[in-house]
Amino acid sequence: MSRSVIAFALASGAFATSTEVVAQDDVIVVTARKIEENIQDVPVAITAFSGEALENAGLTEFADIALLTPNFDVRPNGATGALFADLTIRGQSSGFLTLNADQAVGININGAPITRGTSLFTNLFDVERIEVLKGPQGTLFGKNTTGGVVNVVTTAPDTASFGGYAEFTVGSFDRTDAELVVNVPLSTNVAAVRLGAALTHRDGFGEGGSGLDTLTGRQLADDDEMFFRGSVLVAPGPSFSIRLNADYHEIDESTSIFRSLRSAGGGFLALESTNPDFYVGNDFRVEAPFAVSDELNINATVELEIGNATATSITSYRDQSSDTLVQSAPSTAVRLGQDSDLFAQELRLAGSTQDDRLVWKIGAFYSEEKGVDIDRLIGFGLDSSTEAENETWSVFTQNTFQVAPGVRLTGGVRYTDEKRRVASLVTAAENEASFDGWSWLGSIDYQPNDPLLLYASVSRGFRSGAIDQDNISTIVQPEFVTNYEIGFKSDLFGRLARLNAALFYSDYTDIQRTAFDPDSPIPVTVLRNAAEATIWGFEAELQLAPAEGLSFGGTLGYTNSEFDEFLDQDAAGNIIDRSEEPIGGPEWQFSLNARYETDLSDNLRLGLQANYFYIGEEELAGPSLAAILRPGEAVVDDYGLLNAQIDLEILDFGGDFGGAEIALFGSNILDKEYFTSGIALGLFGGISNRLVGEPRQWGIRVTKEF
């Protein structure tokens, strides 16, 4: 079977096979620059790993990749729970859920953009690899990638042989997961189809009466998911291929567990969850909470070699709908929903000249997004529901030239033009806006010898402008970031170790933030270009393989992100200087990992693995926190989690059955009580919430490859 320490080591951007971290046949290939390259040859800060690496580490959801990636944070949205995710890379957060604004971290699946952070707390199903690119990536990936990009690549059909796997998992809280993937060649070495399905069920982990929804009796924080994926690859020759991917995903859960915090003002706003048990919800409930979503993704990639160049077309369509109701304050509930579809088309032409000294790319991109956002505050009678349309086009080029042996210069530029339209579903308010911007990149890298790469870069990206959902007459201009970075990538001690590191400094202007509206008769927040900031930090990844079957390592990330200038005000109109406040995301993150594999016999292989993850303290998002919360309550505390796994691989049962793997795993095995995220609802005078993280869980996983 292929499950081995090789895949585990991918979690820190390194391989381990026998006593080598990197072997000639085990190069980590990434597509960070939209061509296949060895990760150690790319002058970009990247963390890459396989779906198998995450599974061995006890991490099975998309959001879990942040635990292994320095300066990357994925948390459930503080207002909606696990249905929506907030992604932060190097202090720059996605922030916005609705169609009227965009995010700062891009997501691509098989080259197709995913513009909204819905349904990200889901099972990583039949994934080949994930790449996290840090820093502005606007030249090749477009607007709204000022923080970085997450590339997800699913497993491609194999035209050479029949195969697949079946996997079954049982665990704590009546967890029952099942996966089945089948790969069938339609014509040997020409065409194949790969089909898969995954089902997930887990009861909620709420305790006592407050751990249940008092209206339905349903346990809070439960999870039911269905996932279906199909892929067809046709490659009649080395110069032409077509790959069609389609997947459908459905989620049904009862939302996360919210614990309320008290207001500084007292009164009914001082209500908080009083149950001494940790895994309970608020003691008030006027509506039955739920979170449901479904999405369909279809994309087609066509590649055609034309001489020394390759033409690529990526066409994608995404249809998604979500609906969630959360009660996070007394006498009120929040109903949030979204129904949207996205069409995108990218055309690229890439090639090389001058004996491959010049590698060039040119391309064009177009997307159209339409949909409806439901945003209702039940109990207060507020409704900010809107419909929106976004149209984007851009052209780009990026080129790398080898000016001397081992020395390369890279330059790229992209122009983006966008139109937005937002209309209220409650009133006659409607507005349109147009935005444009330039993204660019310049870098130099030097490779004095094969296992060492030194690089320096400067890049500029922008997040597109927005139309405020609550005050549609307000147009918010784009925000810009200029990033300066130096780094190195190295394989040491005869490739027994890998050490990669980067240092960055970012100048962040016209930051889009919510603030109290001084012209409103009631305390409501509006979106505006509120601030400027400086962000700097570093990250490092280390992996060692000192002995046969043994590997260990770790990651470390530090981000210092605070406003240089941010004048806000409270609901009464008093000016508050929020300069020097952190922007978002934890300051410190680190992880440690270790794995040992040994052959117990010719037919039996034992694996032992442990992972520790630390996430630093993070301040809650929300306007004028210091004015509305009691000291010490405007934060999500730091926490550390320990996961472990014991796996036994039976190489061959005899006959035609082949082998199988059995794994016993545990997550949060020290049973740490922690919060994952939160929000400060200044609109209500200070009621705020934090979301409870998952308790200790155990499980057994059986995998059979065929």
For residue 539, the model assigns a pLDDT of 97
For residue 150, the model assigns a pLDDT of 92
Any idea which residue has 């033409």 for tokens? 311
For residue 14, the model assigns a pLDDT of 38
Q: Which of 7, 85, 20, 87 is nearest to 48 (CA)?
A: 7
For residue 403, the model assigns a pLDDT of 96
User: Is the pLDDT reported for residue 60 higher than 80?
Assistant: no
Q: In what order do the strands lie in the sheet with 675-680?
A: 258-261, 688-692, 675-680
User: Is the pLDDT reported for residue 103 higher than 80?
Assistant: yes
User: Is the pLDDT reported for residue 624 higher than 70?
Assistant: no
Q: Sort strands 148-154 and 105-109 into parallel, antiparallel or unpaired.
A: parallel
For residue 655, the model assigns a pLDDT of 65
User: Is the pLDDT reported for residue 460 higher than 50?
Assistant: yes
State which of 83-97, 101-115, 201-215, 442-456 shows the largest mean pLDDT: 442-456
pLDDT in tens, 188-211: 999 999 999 999 999 888 764 444
pLDDT band at 699 (very low <50, low <70, confident <90, very high): very high
pLDDT band at 495 (very low <50, low <70, confident <90, very high): confident
pLDDT in tens, 558-570: 999 888 888 777 6
State which of 11-20, 58-67, 108-117, 459-468 shows the largest mean pLDDT: 459-468
Instruction: Give the range among 95-99, 542-546, 583-587 with minimum mean pLDDT.
Output: 95-99
Instruction: Give the range among 32-36, 88-92, 327-331, 656-660 with minimum mean pLDDT.
Output: 327-331
Percent of the chain residues topping a pLDDT of 90: 52
- Give the span between the Cα atoms of 367 and 666, in whole angstroms: 42
User: Is the pLDDT reported for residue 177 higher than 50?
Assistant: yes
Per-residue burial over 22-61, b = 16 or more CB atoms within 10 Å of its CB, e = otherwise: beeeeebebbbbbbebebbebbbbbbbbbbbbbbbbbbbb
User: Is the pLDDT reported for residue 284 higher than 60?
Assistant: no
Q: Which of 27, 29, 32, 36 is nearest to 44 (CA)?
A: 32
Q: CA 545 from chain center: how many Å? A: 29
User: Is the pLDDT reported for residue 368 higher than 90?
Assistant: yes
Domain span at 226: 5-705
For residue 616, the model assigns a pLDDT of 93
Residues in the chain: 706
State which of 249-263, 317-331, 479-493, 526-540 shows the largest mean pLDDT: 479-493
For residue 85, the model assigns a pLDDT of 78
User: Is the pLDDT reported for residue 357 higher than 70?
Assistant: yes
For residue 13, the model assigns a pLDDT of 44
For residue 24, the model assigns a pLDDT of 36
Both tokens assigned to 205: 């982990």
Which carries the bigger pLDDT value, residue 276 or residue 530? 530
For residue 278, the model assigns a pLDDT of 55
Q: How many domains does the chain contain in total?
A: 1
Q: Which of 675, 672, 662 is nearest to 697 (CA)?
A: 672
- Residues whose CB falls within 8 Å of the CB of residue 588, separated by 6 or more in sequence, listed in order: 557, 558, 614, 616, 638
For residue 409, the model assigns a pLDDT of 98
Average pLDDT, the chain: 83
For residue 384, the model assigns a pLDDT of 84
Instruction: Give the range among 205-219, 393-407, 564-578, 637-651 with minimum mean pLDDT.
Output: 205-219
Q: Which of 229, 223, 288, 290 is nearest to 251 (CA)?
A: 223
For residue 277, the model assigns a pLDDT of 55
For residue 527, the model assigns a pLDDT of 81
User: Is the pLDDT reported for residue 213 higher than 60?
Assistant: no
Q: Which of 398, 507, 344, 447 is nearest to 140 (CA)?
A: 398
- 636-650: average pLDDT: 93
Both tokens assigned to 644: 């472990």
pLDDT in tens, 300-352: 999 999 989 999 999 999 999 988 877 655 556 778 888 999 999 999 999 99
User: Is the pLDDT reported for residue 684 higher than 50?
Assistant: no
- 269-279: average pLDDT: 47
For residue 120, the model assigns a pLDDT of 67
For residue 484, the model assigns a pLDDT of 98
Which carries the bigger pLDDT value, residue 247 or residue 116? 247
For residue 4, the model assigns a pLDDT of 34
For residue 280, the model assigns a pLDDT of 54
pLDDT band at 574 (very low <50, low <70, confident <90, very high): confident
Q: Which of 259, 196, 263 is nearest to 232 (CA)?
A: 196
pLDDT in tens, 514-533: 776 666 665 566 788 878 89
Instruction: Please give the single-letter amino acid code of residue 685.
Output: G
pLDDT band at 377 (very low <50, low <70, confident <90, very high): confident
Helix, strand, coil abundance in the chain, percent, nearest 5:
5, 60, 35
**What CATH code is carried by the domain that includes residue 508?**
2.40.170.20
User: Is the pLDDT reported for residue 623 higher than 70?
Assistant: no
